[in-house]
Structure 1
Amino acid sequence: MSSGLTAGRPSRTGSNPAKTLSILAGDEKPARVNFELAPAKHRALKAYAASQGKTIKELLTDYIDQLPLDV
């Protein structure tokens, strides 16, 4: 009698639902942007973002979205 069940790691199945949905939606993988900033400037940026109710990522993304970029 075989139940049809197999042992193994689900991550080894080769199926990645998130990746599959991303491909179907046409989404691109986000690019990471890294740069160094003086600690005082980082604290000031973090405080400013918090005062706006945003994270640094949200603040910078909103700023970039407002730039006149011809992409």
Structure 2
Amino acid sequence: MSEQTRSYTVTGMTCEHCVASVTEEVSEIPGVTAVDVDLASGAVRVTSDAPVSDDAVRAAVDEAGYELVEGGATP
């Protein structure tokens, strides 16, 4: 199965610790192979080798203490 990449926007991140927290939580979702977080824009790109639900990403972002405001669209 080919890799899938989906993009999200997360609010509330203000520093590299925030980026690390979001990256760590989202990386724990089964199937996720890479997480790229851009602090300046709040963009989070999630690459996976299996389908990952938007709800799973939202829950991981919530667990990290931030809010997913939009996303799921493949760029």
Identify the TM-score tier after normalising by the shorter chain.
under 0.3
TM-score, length of structure 2 as denominator length? 0.23
TM-score, length of structure 1 as denominator length? 0.24
More helix by share: 1
More strand by share: 2
Q: Which of structures 1 and 2 has the larger relative contact order (alpha carbons within 8 angstroms, sep 6+)?
A: 2
